[in-house]
A and B are shown apart, each in its own frame.
Chain A
Amino acid sequence: MPFDTTNPEKFRADIRAWLAENCPTEMQDGDSTADSICWGGRNWTFQSDAQKQWLNVCAENGLTCPTWPQEYGGAGFDRDQEKIWLSELGRINARLPLQSFGIWMLGPALLHFGSHEQKLHYLPPITRGEIRWCQGYSEPGAGSDLASVQSKGEDQGDHWVVNGQKVWTSYADKADWIFALIRTDKDAPKHKGISFLLFDMQSEGVSTRPIKLISGASPFCETFFDDVKVPKDQIVGTENRGWDVAKYLLTHEREMISGGGSGRGAGRSLAKVLADAGHDLSEASLRSEAIACDIEEMSVALTIERYKDQAAGGKGVGDASAMLKYAGTELNKRKHELFMSAGGSEALQWDGATGSLPADWLRTKANSIEGGTSEVMLSIISKRVLGLPG
Chain B
Amino acid sequence: MTNLTLNEDETMLVDSARGFLDEASPVEKFRELRDAGKAYNPELWKQMADLGWTGVLVPEDQGGIDMGHAAANLLAQEMGKTLVSSPFISTAVMAATALRQVADNPRAAEALGKIASGDLTYALALDEGVKHAPNNTQMQAERVGNGFSLSGEKTFVVDGGSADRLLVLARTGDDDGALTLFDIPADRDGITRTAQNMIDARDSAQISFEGVEATGEDVVGTVDQAMSVLSPALRAGQAALAAEMTGLSSGAFGMTVSYLQERKQFGVLIGQFQALQHRAAHLWSDIEVATSTIANAGRMMDEDPENATLAVSLAKAKACQTAKLAVMEGVQMHGGIGMTDAFDMGFFMKRARVAQEWLGDYGYHAEQIAKIKGY
Contact (Cβ within 8 A) A382 B292: no
Contact (Cβ within 8 A) A381 B281: yes
Contact (Cβ within 8 A) B284 A323: yes
B contact patch SS: helix
Tell me, yes or no, whether A298 is within 8 Å of chain B by CB: yes
Tell me, yes or no, whether B266 is within 8 Å of chain A by CB: no
- Residues in chain B near residue A292, CB distance under 8 A: 366
A306-B4, A320-B288 known; A291+B375 contact, CB < 8 A:
yes
- Residues in chain B near residue A67, CB distance under 8 A: none
How far is B327's CA from A36's CA once the two chains are assembled, in angstroms? 45
Cβ-closest chain A residue relative to B278 = A378
B365 to chain A, nearest CB (A): 9
Contact (Cβ within 8 A) A388 B278: no
A272-B374, A305-B4 known; A389+B261 contact, CB < 8 A:
yes
A269-B374, A295-B366, A299-B318 known; A83+B288 contact, CB < 8 A:
no
The listed residue (B5, B289, B290, B296) touching A310 by CB distance below 8 A is B5
Return the CB mask of B165-196 against A: 1 if under 8 Å, else 0. Answer: 00000000000000000000000000000000
Contact (Cβ within 8 A) A388 B280: yes
A302 to chain B, nearest CB (A): 4
Contact (Cβ within 8 A) B272 A290: no
- Residues in chain A near residue B5, CB distance under 8 A: 306, 309-310, 313, 315
A290-B375, A295-B317, A303-B289 known; A386+B366 contact, CB < 8 A:
no
A299-B318, A300-B289, A327-B289 known; A84+B281 contact, CB < 8 A:
no
In the complex, chain B residues 276-297 whose Cβ is within 8 Å of any chain A Cβ = 277-278, 280-282, 284-285, 288-293, 295-296
Cβ-closest chain A residue relative to B293 = A299
In the complex, chain A residues 5-54 whose Cβ is within 8 Å of any chain B Cβ = 8
Return the CB mask of A351-390 against B: 1 if under 8 Å, else 0. Answer: 0000000000000000000000001011101110111111
Cβ-closest chain B residue relative to A298 = B314
How far is B296's CA from A188's CA once the two chains are assembled, in angstroms? 48
In the complex, chain A residues 273-317 whose Cβ is within 8 Å of any chain B Cβ = 275, 281, 287-288, 290-292, 294-296, 298-300, 302-303, 305-306, 309-310, 313, 315
B220 to chain A, nearest CB (A): 32
Contact (Cβ within 8 A) B272 A389: yes
Contact (Cβ within 8 A) B1 A379: no
Tell me, yes or no, whether B369 is within 8 Å of chain A by CB: yes
Contact (Cβ within 8 A) B317 A271: no
A290 to chain B, nearest CB (A): 7
Tell me, yes or no, whether B271 is within 8 Å of chain A by CB: yes
Cβ-closest chain A residue relative to B286 = A327
- Residues in chain A near residue B269, CB distance under 8 A: 389
Tell me, yes or no, whether A326 is within 8 Å of chain B by CB: yes
A121 to chain B, nearest CB (A): 34
- Residues in chain B near residue A269, CB distance under 8 A: 373-374
Contact (Cβ within 8 A) A386 B1: no
- Residues in chain A near residue B288, CB distance under 8 A: 303, 320, 323
Tell me, yes or no, whether A145 is within 8 Å of chain B by CB: no
- Residues in chain A near residue B289, CB distance under 8 A: 296, 299-300, 302-303, 327
Interface size on B, residues (CB 8 A): 35
A243 to chain B, nearest CB (A): 23
Tell me, yes or no, whether A60 is within 8 Å of chain B by CB: no
- Residues in chain B near residue A326, CB distance under 8 A: 281-282, 285
Tell me, yes or no, whether B146 is within 8 Å of chain A by CB: no
How far is B249's CA from A356's CA once the two chains are assembled, in angstroms? 40
- Residues in chain B near residue A71, CB distance under 8 A: none
Contact (Cβ within 8 A) A80 B280: no
Cβ-closest chain B residue relative to A272 = B374
The listed residue (B261, B285, B369, B375) touching A327 by CB distance below 8 A is B285
Tell me, yes or no, whether B3 is within 8 Å of chain A by CB: yes
A315 to chain B, nearest CB (A): 8
Contact (Cβ within 8 A) B280 A386: yes
Task: Count chain A CB atoms within 10 A of each CB in B272, B291, B293, B375 and give the residue with the most.
Answer: B375
B72 to chain A, nearest CB (A): 19
A299-B290, A379-B281, A381-B285 known; A389+B366 contact, CB < 8 A:
no
Return the CB mask of B253-264 against A: 1 if under 8 Å, else 0. Answer: 000010011000
Contact (Cβ within 8 A) A309 B3: yes
Cβ-closest chain A residue relative to B370 = A291
A83-B1, A302-B4 known; A382+B318 contact, CB < 8 A:
no
- Residues in chain B near residue A8, CB distance under 8 A: 1
- Residues in chain A near residue B4, CB distance under 8 A: 302, 305-306, 309
The listed residue (A84, A385, A388) touching B271 by CB distance below 8 A is A388
The listed residue (A275, A305, A320, A377) touching B292 by CB distance below 8 A is A305
Tell me, yes or no, whether B307 is within 8 Å of chain A by CB: no
A303-B288, A386-B257, A388-B260 known; A379+B278 contact, CB < 8 A:
yes
How far is B344's CA from A98's CA once the two chains are assembled, in angstroms? 54
- Residues in chain B near residue A315, CB distance under 8 A: 5
How far is B3's CA from A309's CA once the two chains are assembled, in angstroms? 6
- Residues in chain A near residue B257, CB distance under 8 A: 386-388
Task: Count chain A CB atoms within 10 A of each CB in B5, B285, B366, B373 and give the residue with the most.
Answer: B285
Task: Count chain A CB atoms within 10 A of each CB in B261, B284, B292, B366 and give the residue with the most.
Answer: B292
The listed residue (A83, A295, A387) touching B369 by CB distance below 8 A is A295
In the complex, chain B residues 54-85 whose Cβ is within 8 Å of any chain A Cβ = none
Contact (Cβ within 8 A) A306 B295: yes
Contact (Cβ within 8 A) B272 A388: yes
- Residues in chain A near residue B260, CB distance under 8 A: 388
How far is B317's CA from A292's CA once the two chains are assembled, in angstroms? 9
Q: Could you give 8 example pairs across A and B, Cβ below 8 Å?
A: A269-B373, A299-B290, A305-B292, A323-B285, A379-B278, A381-B281, A381-B285, A386-B284
A residues neighboring B (CB under 8 Å): 8, 80, 83-84, 269-272, 275, 281, 287-288, 290-292, 294-296, 298-300, 302-303, 305-306, 309-310, 313, 315, 320, 323, 326-327, 375, 377-379, 381-383, 385-390
Known: A300-B289, A378-B281. 4 other contacts (CB 8 A): A292-B366, A323-B285, A387-B257, A388-B261
Closest 5 CB pairs of A and B: A382-B277, A381-B281, A306-B4, A303-B292, A302-B292
